[in-house]
Amino acid sequence: MSSTVKEVSVQLPKRFDRPDEPWHHYLTIDLIWYVLGYTLFHPFVSWVVVLCLRAQYTPYENIELRVAMAWAMLMTAIGIFGIVSDRIAFGSPREVDLAEEVIVITGGVDGLGGLLAETYGMRNANIAVLDTKKVDEDEAEDKGILYYQCDVSDAQQVEAAAAKIVDDLGAPTILINNAGIVQTKSILDSTAEDVERIFRVNTLSHFTTLRAFVPYMLKEGRGTIVTVSSVLGHLGAANLSAYTASKAALLALHQSLRAELAQNPDAKEIKTILVTPGQMGTNMFTGVKTPSNFLAPIVTPAEIGKDIIRLIEKGESGEVALPLYSRYIPILGSLPVGVQHLVRKWSGMDKAVGRIDPAKKSMNEKR
């Protein structure tokens, strides 16, 4: 395909369709942390403060200069430690040229997967989407995406779709396992069929797509695998038992995949990305109210997608965890059980699903 950027008509959302919110609604801990990351906690800015003090002929023995220098050295050390840690954990980045890559996205008609697919489609990348939803051929052509109607919970359908993708686009080198469904039922109200369906789509489909596409990556000697899990995989939640259990399984699957790839000499250039978002503003959790908009804001697919695309195109492995609390949730499990209980109680997370309108308590499809 041509490497030129395709012009696509876009209709922006109407402002008056959204409820007016007070200014403090948009003030979140994530925003504060973001600003601090580019100011007080940034090594370059920290050294600029030192230089400014010296420009004012501040003596080295003055306490303010000593504090500024100590802070700048601390921020520099933390930054270097982070870079070294990532290199040890994930290795060197691989070279990525979108013209030479074939991208496969499961559940890519709408939500996060749809955003990623359309973004790469606008950039004329070789993009294939697996989804149960059918897309009109004219719409697919306008978006520059090849859609394959496929139920990823069915291994035979995935294998057949994989063969078609290879014939149409070439060997897949980037796999984004995004398909997922949720059902808001208690454990006692769930049937065996409900739980099985959720696990087949959310968990077993990952095994199927990995078996279908990773052999091509090994043959090509390069690739990127994105696993979309959830922060609830670390936490669990009332009335979301099947969903949270299926996402927790993906956390273990991701680590097992990394371990197996590390043992394969042909997989040195295959990168892995784990995505553990908090509540996203998609149809999947329509009606769920976040316990705290300040501490646990709802993230948009664009925010998650931006970080996924950045890692993919830099050829790096890594983790994407938004909002901020998602990065530190694993620490909760190391705290005393009493503290864990109080955090869950104060956050109100186990009551969030119970507040959904009963009319909305139905199976929500792909992200």
String of DSSP letters for 167-195: HHT-S--EEEE----B----TTT--HHHH
- Residue 15 belongs to some domain of the structure: no
CB 178 within 8 A of CB 250: no
Same-domain pairing of 163 and 295: yes
pLDDT in the model for residue 12: 52
Q: What's the pLDDT tens digit per position in 160-184?
A: 999 999 999 999 999 999 999 998 8
- Residue 134 belongs to some domain of the structure: yes
Peptide bond into 59 cis (omega under 30): no
- Residue 68 belongs to some domain of the structure: yes
Statement: residue 250 has pLDDT above 60? yes
How do beta strands 146-149 and 318-320 pair? unpaired
Same-domain pairing of 197 and 225: yes
Question: For residue 112, what are its two tokens?
Answer: 């996060």
Nearest to 180 by CA among 230, 253, 255, 217: 230
Structural domains in the chain (count)? 2
- Per the model's pLDDT, the better-predicted residue between 20 and 64 turns out to be 64
Beta bridge partners of 105: 129, 176
- pTM, two decimal places: 0.89
pLDDT in the model for residue 25: 75
How do beta strands 318-320 and 270-275 pair? parallel
Of the ranges 52-66, 121-135, 149-163, 280-294, which one carries the lowest mean pLDDT score?
A: 280-294
- Residue 311 belongs to some domain of the structure: yes
Half-sphere exposure for 249 (CA within 13 Å, toward CB):
16
Question: For residue 167, what are its two tokens?
Answer: 């014939």
- Residue 366 belongs to some domain of the structure: no
- Per the model's pLDDT, the better-predicted residue between 35 and 11 turns out to be 35
What span, in angstroms and rounded, lies between the C-alpha atoms of 151 and 179? 10
Same-domain pairing of 80 and 143: no
Same-domain pairing of 102 and 85: no
Which amino acid is residue 240, in one-letter code? L
Same-domain pairing of 79 and 220: no
Same-domain pairing of 191 and 235: yes
CB 279 within 8 A of CB 299: yes
What span, in angstroms and rounded, lies between the C-alpha atoms of 10 and 257? 38
Domain encompassing residue 283? 98-360
Which amino acid is residue 119, in one-letter code? T
Statement: residue 18 has pLDDT above 60? no
Same-domain pairing of 65 and 187: no
Residue 365: pLDDT band (50, 70, 90) is: very low
Catalytic residues: 243
Statement: residue 7 has pLDDT above 70? no
What span, in angstroms and rounded, lies between the C-alpha atoms of 205 and 211? 10
Same-domain pairing of 86 and 229: no
- Residue 56 belongs to some domain of the structure: yes
- Residue 279 belongs to some domain of the structure: yes
What span, in angstroms and rounded, lies between the C-alpha atoms of 358 and 275? 30
Same-domain pairing of 329 and 354: yes
Q: What's the pLDDT tens digit per position in 256-309?
A: 999 999 999 999 999 999 999 998 887 777 667 777 888 888 899 999 999 999
Q: What is the average pLDDT score of the chain?
A: 89
CB 237 within 8 A of CB 252: no
Buried (b) or exposed (e) across 339-350, using 16+ Cβ within 10 A?
eeeeebeebebb
Same-domain pairing of 31 and 102: no
Same-domain pairing of 127 and 235: yes
Cα first-last separation, the chain: 28
pLDDT in the model for residue 362: 47
Query: Once rounded to an integer, what is the mean pLDDT over residues 322-328?
Result: 93
Same-domain pairing of 271 and 309: yes
Say which CATH number the domain at 329 has: 3.40.50.720
